[in-house]
Amino acid sequence: MTVHFKQDEPDNSNRLDRMKQGVLGKPLPRIEGLAKVTGTAPYAAEYPIENCTEGVLVTATITRGEVTSIDHESVLTMPGVIAVVDNEKLCTRAAQGTANEAPMQGPKQVCYWGQPIALVVAETFEQARDAAKHLKVDYREEEGAPIDPGAVEPEEQEDETVHQGDLAHAMADAAHSVDVTYTTRGHASAAMEPHAAIAQWDGDKLTVYAALQMLNYNITELADALDMEEENIRLISRFVGGGFGSKLGISEEVVAAALAAKQIGRPVRVVQSRQQVFQTVMRRSETTQRLRLAADENGKLTGFGHEALVSNLPGEDFAEPVLQSSHFLYDGENRELMLKVARIHRMTAGSVRAPGEAVGMPALEGAMDVLAEKAGLDPVELRLRNIPEKDPEEDLPFSSHKLAECLKQGAEAFGWDKGPRKPRQRREGEWWIGTGMASAARVHNIAEAKARVTLKADGTALVETDMTDIGTGTYTILAQIVGEMLGLDPERVLVELGDTRHPRGPGSGGSWGAASIGSAVYVACKAIREELAAKTGTSEEELELREGEAGTGEALTDLLEGEDLAREGHYEPGDIEDDYTASGFGAFFAEVRVNHYTGETRVDRMLGAFGFGRVLNAKTARSQCIGGITWSIGVALTEALEFDPRDGHLVNCDLAEYHVPVHRDVPDLEVVLVEERDGAASPIQAKGIGELGMCGGAAAIANAIYNACGARIYDYPMTPDRVLEAMPE
């Protein structure tokens, strides 16, 4: 039986706080942790499939043009080679997150260097890889494909544009104003598990083991790509080795494996090489961002301007939503916001962890630091003075707003010195030392979700949904929600995820997973509680369940009388979305060292304080924050995709040369979880948390670099060459 709940009103009843099991929010270790560290949790490529063959993608070596011929014979005689697949249905790009339709297909048309154009299938991986390198391909190249985002006339994203009041005027009249331009470079998701799929046909039924984040959308995308019915497809992604946006939509290997398996009548596995994952899946767009801030003599913002240029391939809807939180983070009645996209022929730009704020916030929060200095204000105080009462553009109340608490609790925990700030005050040997801070903000997203919960006759419970756990802790928090609602030790709750045979979840992405699927499970559990309440003669509201017993003394197993009790929860976000602006907020504080001679920057201490509604598991929540802050360090100091200026190919395409932070770059990070219940955000009063930890953190580091050595840098990442160039003599 399905129970549908659409949330139209906030729910501030704090139901979950009054349940008796007392397990929700507790720092339980991840249920699947042991399986993962002992290598027994199978990832997509690891399923033992009999008679399986190996496919390797062949990629284009021109930037734009047409494949005129592919000489199959050039490889079919090589040892072990079975087939070349260059079917018109092959995908040449990955689908954008929530696209719900096939990505670009048709491998004959080349739009970027490195684009998949064919698949070679052989008995062994080595044979396929060798043959892929030997496949003879002829092209007709169209010269002059633009690859520099600055060199083309960009398109305006009109739904992002805001003209409110008169910013130019406000700037002219301001007591203090800032007009600065920041740049950020492209980023890669760099998930540990490469993109991989095994496809197997049984008649017209297809099963694909894949590395995907959102099976509910992915199944539709795959059905569309293959021109078949969803009912005939089963997708399995039980364990995913990180996604960070790169596995939101189906990528090239999924469709290629399915087509190839059909063509040769045997299962096919396709694993993208590390270089291919870098070059064919998704990049975060580079950005150029102009920030204009006008403030009165008290540092109150009177004007706010944020204009950004990003890029993508022709035909892609996605434009890095740089301004997402800029629309509501700070006051300022005169506003000017604009987002433009340059159409260029670099690989697809798409979602990489925290699309938008990951790069928008570092620029905005850098500019705020410049303003604080000009206004002679402590940067924490400047932010406190500019927290709006309501959404400054939409005239909507906030669902809940913890920025002030985060700023205050964060400053307290970090030991932030509110005294006057001047750069170059502290030097130890070769190192300048300084501190910096920044606000965090990330819009709250939520999505429709379904899950089935079965309270078994034996007093255990089962949760089934096609939701994924991409390493974030979904398995564990769902067991905790069920445990809390049904009075069970989470160890008695079995959670089955990542299989499209189960009810459709929301998928993992946009930080919406936990709040969305958690709400579906909550809805199902509530319905089960109603049944149980009826059996004990109380109301659901009054029913107390703990350790497998009702408050009235009956054991659950007795109440069930040998029957399983199953409910499918169907949660749907309601009109409430239009009534409030909902966001997670936070604050970052950092202490860094900058080497006077070499310009090397090392982070000595960093703290984040975050408010994102109810904490479902203090350990996995903290882990998400720590991961986010670690990404902030990468954005601030090291991560930058390099594109060849002539053919636009991604040059640094492995983990040795694309520099994510290593252990030594990451000091002991401190996380403060600020108590919050957001009844308008979701029925379980939780908001998104997976991305907030990186939305602004890079600016805390940038601002600390300035405070340390006086180098005000407007280009991320702040590598030694840039620090040295900006360092005063």
Per CB under 8 A, residues contacting another protein are 61, 79, 126, 129-130, 133, 275, 430, 595-600, 602, 637-638, 642-646, 649, 651-652, 656-657, 659, 661-665, 717, 719-721, 724-725
Looking at the Cβ atoms of 593 and 687, the one nearer to another protein is: 593
For another protein, the closer of residues 127 and 445 by Cβ is 127
Least distance from another protein to the Cβ atom of residue 382, Å: 31
Q: For another protein, give the closer residue by CB, 448 or 642.
A: 642
CB of 651 to another protein, least distance (A): 4
Q: Which residue(s) pair with 703 in the sheet?
A: none
Q: Do 492 and 557 meet the contact criterion of CB atoms below 8 Å apart?
A: no
Cα separation, 703 vs 637, in Å, equals 12
Classified as helix, coil or strand, 486 is helix
Out of 160, 568, 676, 691, the active site residue is 691
Specify whether 691 is catalytic.
yes
Task: Sort 355 into a burial class: Cβ within 10 Å, 0-12 / 13-18 / 19+.
Answer: buried
Residue 620 DSSP label: H
How would DSSP label each residue in 143-175? TT----GGGS-PEE-GGG-EEES-HHHHHHH-S
Q: Which is nearer to another protein, 495 or 653 (CB)?
A: 653
| Side chain identity, residue 727 | M
What's the CA gap between 417 and 403, in Å, rounded?
A: 19
Q: Which is nearer to another protein, 6 or 133 (CB)?
A: 133
- 192 contact partners, CB below 8 Å, separation of at least 6: 241, 242
CA dihedral 365, 369, 374, 377 (to 10 degrees): 110
Amino acid code (one letter) for 157: Q
Return all residues near 507 (Cβ < 8 A) that are at least 6 apart. 98, 213, 214, 215, 216, 217, 218, 248, 447, 467, 468, 513
CB of 342 to another protein, least distance (A): 20
CA–CA distance, 358 with 167 (Å, rounded to integer)? 25
H or E element, residue 720: helix 720-726
- In terms of Cβ atoms closer than 10 Å to its own Cβ (0-12, 13-18, 19+), residue 540 is middle
- Shortest spacing between CB 313 and another protein, in angstroms: 20
Query: Looking at beta carbons only, is 18 or 664 nearer to another protein?
Result: 664
Q: How far is the CB of 678 from another protein (least distance, A)?
A: 37
Q: How many residues does the chain have?
A: 729
The first and second tokens of residue 417, run together, are 């010195």
Query: How many alpha carbons fall within 13 Å on the CB side of residue 234?
Result: 12
Q: Least distance in Å: CB of 658 to another protein?
A: 11
Least gap, CB of 100 to another protein (angstroms): 34
Closest approach, Cβ 150 to another protein, in A, equals 16
In this complex, which beta carbon is closest to another protein, that of residue 60 or of residue 556?
A: 60
Instruction: Using the minimum distance from each CB to another protein, give the nearer residue, 458 or 657.
Output: 657
Of 453 and 653, the one with the shorter C-beta distance to another protein is 653
Contact 672, 217 (CB under 8 A): no
Closest distance between another protein and the C-beta of residue 129, in Å?
A: 7
Which ranges of 77-214 would DSSP assign to H, the alpha helix?
125-134, 167-173
Cα distances from 442 to residues 220, 326, 327, in angstroms, run 28, 10, 11
Distance CA 695, CA 367 (A): 15
The residues carrying an active-site annotation are: 691
